[in-house]
Amino acid sequence: MGGRLDRIDLKILRLLQNNGRWTNAELAETAGVSAATCHRRTQRLFDEGYIAQVRAMVAPRKVGKGALVMVGVVLDRSTPESFAAFERAIAQLKFVLDCHLVAGDFDYFLKIRVGDMEDFNRIHGEQLIALPGVRQTRTFFVMKEVVDNAPLDF
Amino acid sequence: MGGRLDRIDLKILRLLQNNGRWTNAELAETAGVSAATCHRRTQRLFDEGYIAQVRAMVAPRKVGKGALVMVGVVLDRSTPESFAAFERAIAQLKFVLDCHLVAGDFDYFLKIRVGDMEDFNRIHGEQLIALPGVRQTRTFFVMKEVVDNAPLDF
DNA sequence: GCCGCCCATGAAATAATCTCTCATCTTTGT
DNA sequence: ACAAAGATGAGAGATTATTTCATGGGCGGC
Protein backbone atom coordinates (compact mmCIF):
# COMPACT_ATOMS: atom_id res chain seq x y z
CA MET A 1 0.00 0.00 0.00
CA GLY A 2 1.57 3.24 -1.19
CA GLY A 3 1.24 6.66 0.37
CA ARG A 4 -2.15 7.43 -1.23
CA LEU A 5 -5.61 6.71 0.02
CA ASP A 6 -7.78 4.10 -1.61
CA ARG A 7 -11.56 3.83 -1.54
CA ILE A 8 -11.54 2.07 1.83
CA ASP A 9 -9.34 4.69 3.49
CA LEU A 10 -11.58 7.47 2.24
CA LYS A 11 -14.64 5.69 3.55
CA ILE A 12 -13.07 5.28 6.98
CA LEU A 13 -12.00 8.93 7.02
CA ARG A 14 -15.48 10.12 6.09
CA LEU A 15 -17.13 7.90 8.66
CA LEU A 16 -14.81 9.03 11.43
CA GLN A 17 -15.30 12.64 10.47
CA ASN A 18 -19.03 12.29 10.90
CA ASN A 19 -18.79 10.28 14.07
CA GLY A 20 -15.55 9.68 15.92
CA ARG A 21 -17.23 7.20 18.24
CA TRP A 22 -17.82 4.32 15.86
CA THR A 23 -16.52 1.09 17.31
CA ASN A 24 -13.90 -0.55 15.18
CA ALA A 25 -16.26 -3.42 14.42
CA GLU A 26 -18.94 -1.04 13.14
CA LEU A 27 -16.42 0.87 11.08
CA ALA A 28 -15.14 -2.38 9.63
CA GLU A 29 -18.56 -3.63 8.61
CA THR A 30 -19.61 -0.32 7.05
CA ALA A 31 -16.32 0.02 5.21
CA GLY A 32 -16.55 -3.57 4.02
CA VAL A 33 -13.36 -4.99 5.50
CA SER A 34 -12.46 -7.17 8.45
CA ALA A 35 -12.01 -5.71 11.91
CA ALA A 36 -8.29 -6.36 11.83
CA THR A 37 -7.79 -4.60 8.52
CA CYS A 38 -10.00 -1.72 9.55
CA HIS A 39 -8.03 -1.31 12.73
CA ARG A 40 -4.73 -1.22 10.87
CA ARG A 41 -6.07 1.21 8.29
CA THR A 42 -7.39 3.53 10.95
CA GLN A 43 -4.15 3.46 12.88
CA ARG A 44 -2.26 4.31 9.71
CA LEU A 45 -4.57 7.27 9.07
CA PHE A 46 -3.65 8.58 12.51
CA ASP A 47 0.04 7.77 12.26
CA GLU A 48 0.44 9.43 8.89
CA GLY A 49 -1.40 12.55 9.94
CA TYR A 50 -4.57 12.25 7.90
CA ILE A 51 -6.49 12.67 11.11
CA ALA A 52 -5.00 15.59 12.98
CA GLN A 53 -7.04 14.92 16.11
CA VAL A 54 -10.36 13.73 17.40
CA ARG A 55 -12.40 16.38 19.11
CA ALA A 56 -15.60 16.46 21.11
CA MET A 57 -17.56 19.35 19.65
CA VAL A 58 -18.93 21.21 22.66
CA ALA A 59 -22.26 22.97 22.06
CA PRO A 60 -21.36 26.67 22.37
CA ARG A 61 -24.69 27.80 23.79
CA LYS A 62 -24.52 25.14 26.47
CA VAL A 63 -21.34 26.63 27.89
CA GLY A 64 -22.27 30.28 27.61
CA LYS A 65 -20.59 31.04 24.29
CA GLY A 66 -23.66 31.56 22.18
CA ALA A 67 -22.52 34.72 20.37
CA LEU A 68 -20.41 34.62 17.24
CA VAL A 69 -18.61 37.64 15.79
CA MET A 70 -16.50 38.09 12.69
CA VAL A 71 -13.92 40.86 12.82
CA GLY A 72 -11.84 42.34 10.02
CA VAL A 73 -8.57 43.88 11.16
CA VAL A 74 -6.30 46.40 9.46
CA LEU A 75 -2.79 46.96 10.79
CA ASP A 76 -0.84 50.23 10.87
CA ARG A 77 2.11 48.95 8.94
CA SER A 78 2.52 46.00 6.60
CA THR A 79 5.90 44.88 7.81
CA PRO A 80 6.85 41.31 8.71
CA GLU A 81 7.57 42.41 12.28
CA SER A 82 4.18 44.02 12.58
CA PHE A 83 2.45 40.87 11.34
CA ALA A 84 4.51 38.66 13.60
CA ALA A 85 3.77 40.74 16.66
CA PHE A 86 0.06 40.70 15.93
CA GLU A 87 0.02 36.96 15.39
CA ARG A 88 1.94 36.29 18.56
CA ALA A 89 -0.51 38.36 20.54
CA ILE A 90 -3.61 36.86 18.97
CA ALA A 91 -2.51 33.35 19.82
CA GLN A 92 -2.95 34.22 23.49
CA LEU A 93 -6.60 35.17 23.11
CA LYS A 94 -8.63 32.05 23.82
CA PHE A 95 -11.89 33.45 22.47
CA VAL A 96 -10.40 33.65 18.96
CA LEU A 97 -11.48 30.57 17.01
CA ASP A 98 -10.03 31.58 13.66
CA CYS A 99 -7.39 34.11 12.67
CA HIS A 100 -6.40 34.27 9.03
CA LEU A 101 -4.08 36.55 7.13
CA VAL A 102 -5.99 37.51 4.00
CA ALA A 103 -5.54 39.35 0.74
CA GLY A 104 -7.96 42.22 0.25
CA ASP A 105 -9.37 45.12 2.19
CA PHE A 106 -8.31 43.67 5.52
CA ASP A 107 -5.11 42.23 6.85
CA TYR A 108 -6.69 39.65 9.14
CA PHE A 109 -10.04 38.05 9.62
CA LEU A 110 -11.06 36.83 13.04
CA LYS A 111 -13.83 34.51 14.15
CA ILE A 112 -14.64 35.02 17.79
CA ARG A 113 -16.96 33.32 20.27
CA VAL A 114 -18.25 35.13 23.33
CA GLY A 115 -21.23 35.06 25.64
CA ASP A 116 -23.14 37.99 24.22
CA MET A 117 -22.79 41.41 22.60
CA GLU A 118 -21.95 43.12 25.85
CA ASP A 119 -19.27 40.56 26.42
CA PHE A 120 -17.88 41.26 22.97
CA ASN A 121 -18.00 44.98 23.45
CA ARG A 122 -15.85 44.72 26.55
CA ILE A 123 -13.41 42.39 24.85
CA HIS A 124 -13.24 44.64 21.82
CA GLY A 125 -12.42 47.67 23.87
CA GLU A 126 -10.03 46.00 26.26
CA GLN A 127 -8.25 43.45 24.12
CA LEU A 128 -8.81 43.67 20.38
CA ILE A 129 -8.02 47.32 19.70
CA ALA A 130 -5.14 47.00 22.15
CA LEU A 131 -3.44 44.37 20.00
CA PRO A 132 -0.07 45.49 18.62
CA GLY A 133 -0.25 47.52 15.42
CA VAL A 134 -4.02 47.57 14.99
CA ARG A 135 -5.21 50.58 13.00
CA GLN A 136 -8.86 49.68 12.73
CA THR A 137 -11.32 46.84 13.14
CA ARG A 138 -14.63 46.19 11.50
CA THR A 139 -17.10 44.09 13.42
CA PHE A 140 -19.73 41.82 11.88
CA PHE A 141 -22.10 40.40 14.45
CA VAL A 142 -23.48 37.06 13.41
CA MET A 143 -27.26 37.17 13.51
CA LYS A 144 -27.83 33.63 12.33
CA GLU A 145 -25.47 30.69 12.06
CA VAL A 146 -26.62 29.05 8.86
CA VAL A 147 -23.71 26.63 8.63
CA ASP A 148 -21.04 26.41 11.30
CA ASN A 149 -18.06 24.14 11.01
CA ALA A 150 -19.39 21.82 8.38
CA PRO A 151 -17.41 18.62 7.86
CA LEU A 152 -14.76 18.69 5.18
CA ASP A 153 -15.86 17.45 1.77
CA PHE A 154 -13.24 15.31 0.05
CA MET B 1 -26.82 16.73 40.51
CA GLY B 2 -28.76 19.64 39.04
CA GLY B 3 -28.78 20.82 35.45
CA ARG B 4 -25.53 22.79 35.73
CA LEU B 5 -21.98 21.66 35.26
CA ASP B 6 -19.64 21.31 38.19
CA ARG B 7 -15.86 21.36 38.19
CA ILE B 8 -15.63 17.69 37.22
CA ASP B 9 -17.98 18.03 34.27
CA LEU B 10 -16.04 20.98 32.96
CA LYS B 11 -12.80 19.08 33.27
CA ILE B 12 -14.23 16.14 31.34
CA LEU B 13 -15.60 18.45 28.66
CA ARG B 14 -12.28 20.20 28.23
CA LEU B 15 -10.35 16.94 28.10
CA LEU B 16 -12.66 15.45 25.52
CA GLN B 17 -12.52 18.60 23.46
CA ASN B 18 -8.77 18.36 23.27
CA ASN B 19 -8.73 14.64 22.67
CA GLY B 20 -11.83 12.62 21.99
CA ARG B 21 -9.85 9.38 22.20
CA TRP B 22 -9.12 9.27 25.92
CA THR B 23 -10.12 5.96 27.40
CA ASN B 24 -12.66 6.24 30.15
CA ALA B 25 -10.09 5.05 32.67
CA GLU B 26 -7.65 7.80 31.66
CA LEU B 27 -10.38 10.42 31.73
CA ALA B 28 -11.42 9.23 35.17
CA GLU B 29 -7.93 9.42 36.60
CA THR B 30 -7.22 12.85 35.16
CA ALA B 31 -10.57 14.19 36.30
CA GLY B 32 -10.07 12.69 39.74
CA VAL B 33 -13.09 10.40 39.94
CA SER B 34 -13.70 6.69 39.63
CA ALA B 35 -14.18 5.08 36.25
CA ALA B 36 -17.83 4.38 36.96
CA THR B 37 -18.57 7.98 37.88
CA CYS B 38 -16.61 9.31 34.96
CA HIS B 39 -18.52 7.08 32.62
CA ARG B 40 -21.85 8.26 33.95
CA ARG B 41 -20.79 11.90 33.79
CA THR B 42 -19.59 11.56 30.24
CA GLN B 43 -22.74 9.81 29.14
CA ARG B 44 -24.80 12.57 30.71
CA LEU B 45 -22.78 15.20 28.84
CA PHE B 46 -23.70 13.43 25.61
CA ASP B 47 -27.32 12.79 26.53
CA GLU B 48 -27.96 16.36 27.57
CA GLY B 49 -26.37 17.80 24.47
CA TYR B 50 -23.25 19.37 25.90
CA ILE B 51 -21.27 17.41 23.37
CA ALA B 52 -22.94 17.81 20.01
CA GLN B 53 -20.75 15.23 18.34
CA VAL B 54 -17.28 13.75 18.24
CA ARG B 55 -15.42 14.39 15.04
CA ALA B 56 -12.17 13.24 13.53
CA MET B 57 -10.51 16.41 12.28
CA VAL B 58 -9.16 15.52 8.85
CA ALA B 59 -6.02 17.41 7.81
CA PRO B 60 -7.21 19.55 4.89
CA ARG B 61 -3.92 19.53 2.99
CA LYS B 62 -3.77 15.76 3.17
CA VAL B 63 -7.00 15.41 1.24
CA GLY B 64 -6.40 18.13 -1.31
CA LYS B 65 -8.27 20.95 0.38
CA GLY B 66 -5.35 23.14 1.28
CA ALA B 67 -6.81 26.47 0.17
CA LEU B 68 -9.03 28.54 2.40
CA VAL B 69 -11.13 31.47 1.19
CA MET B 70 -13.38 33.91 2.99
CA VAL B 71 -16.18 35.41 0.94
CA GLY B 72 -18.48 38.31 1.77
CA VAL B 73 -21.84 38.20 0.00
CA VAL B 74 -24.37 40.94 -0.66
CA LEU B 75 -27.85 40.03 -1.84
CA ASP B 76 -30.08 41.96 -4.25
CA ARG B 77 -32.98 42.30 -1.90
CA SER B 78 -33.23 42.05 1.84
CA THR B 79 -36.46 40.12 2.01
CA PRO B 80 -37.07 37.02 4.10
CA GLU B 81 -37.75 35.01 0.93
CA SER B 82 -34.47 36.15 -0.57
CA PHE B 83 -32.54 35.14 2.52
CA ALA B 84 -34.32 31.81 2.75
CA ALA B 85 -33.63 30.98 -0.87
CA PHE B 86 -29.96 31.80 -0.47
CA GLU B 87 -29.63 29.74 2.66
CA ARG B 88 -31.38 26.77 1.11
CA ALA B 89 -29.01 26.88 -1.84
CA ILE B 90 -25.86 27.32 0.23
CA ALA B 91 -26.63 24.25 2.32
CA GLN B 92 -26.12 22.14 -0.80
CA LEU B 93 -22.60 23.35 -1.40
CA LYS B 94 -20.27 20.95 0.36
CA PHE B 95 -17.21 23.17 0.11
CA VAL B 96 -18.84 25.79 2.36
CA LEU B 97 -17.58 25.29 5.91
CA ASP B 98 -19.25 28.33 7.45
CA CYS B 99 -22.12 30.51 6.32
CA HIS B 100 -23.27 33.23 8.66
CA LEU B 101 -25.84 35.97 8.32
CA VAL B 102 -24.12 39.10 9.60
CA ALA B 103 -24.84 42.70 10.42
CA GLY B 104 -22.68 45.17 8.53
CA ASP B 105 -21.47 45.76 5.00
CA PHE B 106 -22.28 42.22 3.91
CA ASP B 107 -25.30 40.03 4.22
CA TYR B 108 -23.43 36.75 4.56
CA PHE B 109 -19.93 35.61 5.31
CA LEU B 110 -18.68 32.34 3.91
CA LYS B 111 -15.68 30.22 4.78
CA ILE B 112 -14.78 27.91 1.95
CA ARG B 113 -12.22 25.14 1.48
CA VAL B 114 -10.98 24.16 -1.96
CA GLY B 115 -7.92 22.66 -3.55
CA ASP B 116 -6.31 25.82 -4.88
CA MET B 117 -7.01 29.25 -6.32
CA GLU B 118 -7.87 27.88 -9.73
CA ASP B 119 -10.30 25.54 -8.11
CA PHE B 120 -11.89 28.45 -6.28
CA ASN B 121 -12.07 30.56 -9.38
CA ARG B 122 -14.08 27.91 -11.17
CA ILE B 123 -16.37 27.41 -8.21
CA HIS B 124 -16.83 31.15 -7.85
CA GLY B 125 -17.83 31.56 -11.47
CA GLU B 126 -19.98 28.47 -11.70
CA GLN B 127 -21.61 28.22 -8.32
CA LEU B 128 -21.23 31.20 -6.01
CA ILE B 129 -22.34 34.05 -8.24
CA ALA B 130 -25.09 31.78 -9.53
CA LEU B 131 -26.64 31.48 -6.07
CA PRO B 132 -30.15 32.98 -5.85
CA GLY B 133 -30.26 36.74 -5.25
CA VAL B 134 -26.53 37.39 -5.13
CA ARG B 135 -25.68 40.97 -6.08
CA GLN B 136 -21.96 40.87 -5.38
CA THR B 137 -19.28 38.90 -3.64
CA ARG B 138 -15.99 39.97 -2.19
CA THR B 139 -13.27 37.37 -1.99
CA PHE B 140 -10.52 37.26 0.62
CA PHE B 141 -7.94 34.60 -0.11
CA VAL B 142 -6.32 33.29 3.03
CA MET B 143 -2.56 33.62 2.73
CA LYS B 144 -1.75 32.19 6.13
CA GLU B 145 -3.85 30.25 8.59
CA VAL B 146 -2.69 31.64 11.89
CA VAL B 147 -5.38 29.95 13.96
CA ASP B 148 -7.93 27.59 12.47
CA ASN B 149 -10.71 26.04 14.44
CA ALA B 150 -9.30 26.59 17.89
CA PRO B 151 -11.02 24.67 20.68
CA LEU B 152 -13.75 26.49 22.52
CA ASP B 153 -12.69 28.31 25.65
CA PHE B 154 -15.18 27.96 28.49
C1' DG C 1 5.21 -18.12 -18.59
C1' DC C 2 6.83 -19.35 -14.20
C1' DC C 3 8.75 -18.51 -9.83
C1' DG C 4 9.65 -16.13 -5.65
C1' DC C 5 9.13 -12.11 -2.81
C1' DC C 6 6.43 -8.75 -0.49
C1' DC C 7 2.72 -7.10 1.59
C1' DA C 8 -2.19 -6.89 2.64
C1' DT C 9 -5.87 -9.60 4.46
C1' DG C 10 -9.09 -12.24 7.69
C1' DA C 11 -9.91 -15.56 11.55
C1' DA C 12 -8.97 -16.37 15.97
C1' DA C 13 -6.77 -15.70 20.53
C1' DT C 14 -5.47 -12.46 23.98
C1' DA C 15 -5.46 -8.23 26.34
C1' DA C 16 -7.73 -4.14 27.47
C1' DT C 17 -11.76 -1.52 28.09
C1' DC C 18 -16.44 -0.47 28.82
C1' DT C 19 -20.81 -0.77 31.24
C1' DC C 20 -23.83 -2.22 34.68
C1' DT C 21 -25.08 -3.77 39.54
C1' DC C 22 -25.04 -3.15 44.22
C1' DA C 23 -23.93 -1.57 48.73
C1' DT C 24 -22.41 2.63 50.83
C1' DC C 25 -21.99 7.44 51.49
C1' DT C 26 -23.22 12.31 50.86
C1' DT C 27 -26.38 15.79 50.30
C1' DT C 28 -31.00 18.11 50.71
C1' DG C 29 -35.15 19.38 52.60
C1' DT C 30 -38.16 19.32 56.56
C1' DA D 1 -31.82 15.01 63.61
C1' DC D 2 -34.14 12.21 60.29
C1' DA D 3 -35.66 10.41 55.99
C1' DA D 4 -35.51 10.54 51.07
C1' DA D 5 -33.02 11.19 46.90
C1' DG D 6 -29.19 11.03 44.48
C1' DA D 7 -24.19 10.34 43.72
C1' DT D 8 -20.21 7.43 44.39
C1' DG D 9 -16.63 3.53 44.04
C1' DA D 10 -15.49 -1.47 43.81
C1' DG D 11 -16.08 -5.26 41.29
C1' DA D 12 -18.37 -8.61 37.89
C1' DG D 13 -19.67 -9.53 33.36
C1' DA D 14 -20.01 -8.10 28.59
C1' DT D 15 -17.98 -5.81 24.89
C1' DT D 16 -14.21 -4.13 22.24
C1' DA D 17 -9.45 -3.37 20.77
C1' DT D 18 -5.12 -5.29 19.38
C1' DT D 19 -1.92 -8.76 18.19
C1' DT D 20 -0.59 -13.24 16.06
C1' DC D 21 -0.43 -16.24 12.40
C1' DA D 22 -1.46 -18.64 8.21
C1' DT D 23 -3.20 -17.60 3.62
C1' DG D 24 -3.78 -15.29 -0.81
C1' DG D 25 -2.94 -11.91 -4.43
C1' DG D 26 -0.02 -8.76 -7.06
C1' DC D 27 4.41 -7.58 -9.10
C1' DG D 28 9.06 -7.90 -10.85
C1' DG D 29 12.88 -10.79 -12.42
C1' DC D 30 14.37 -14.45 -15.09
Residue in A closest to B53 by C-alpha? A57
| pLDDT tens digits along A77-96 | 999 999 999 999 999 999 99
Output the CA–CA distances (angstroms, integers) from residue A94 to A123, A127, B147, B152, in the order listed: 11, 11, 11, 8
Task: Estimate in Å the CA A152 to C1' C17 gap, whole number.
Answer: 31
> What residue ranges define each of the domains in chain B, with the CATH number in brackets?
7-47 (1.10.10.10), 60-141 (3.30.70.920)
CB B115 within 8 A of CB B67: yes
| pLDDT tens digits along B38-95 | 999 999 999 999 999 999 999 999 999 999 999 999 999 999 999 999 999 999 999 9
CB B71 within 8 A of CB B64: no
| pLDDT tens digits along A25-75 | 999 999 999 999 999 999 999 999 999 999 999 999 999 999 999 999 999
pLDDT confidence bin for A2, thresholds 50/70/90: very low
| pLDDT tens digits along B106-140 | 999 999 999 999 999 999 999 999 999 999 999 99
Q: Rounded to the nearest 5°, which phi and psi values hold at A76? A: -65, -55
Q: Name the B residues in 31-50 with CB < 8 Å from any A CB.
A: 49-50
Do residue B50 and residue A63 have CB atoms under 8 angstroms apart? Answer: yes
Do residue A63 and residue B21 have CB atoms under 8 angstroms apart? Answer: no
The residue among A56, A49, A22, A18 whose CA lies nearest residue A152 is A18
pLDDT confidence bin for A1, thresholds 50/70/90: very low
Output the CA–CA distances (angstroms, integers) from residue B41 to A37, A83, B6, in the order listed: 33, 43, 10
Task: Estimate in Å the CA B43 to C1' D21 gap, whole number.
Answer: 38
pLDDT of residue B4: 83
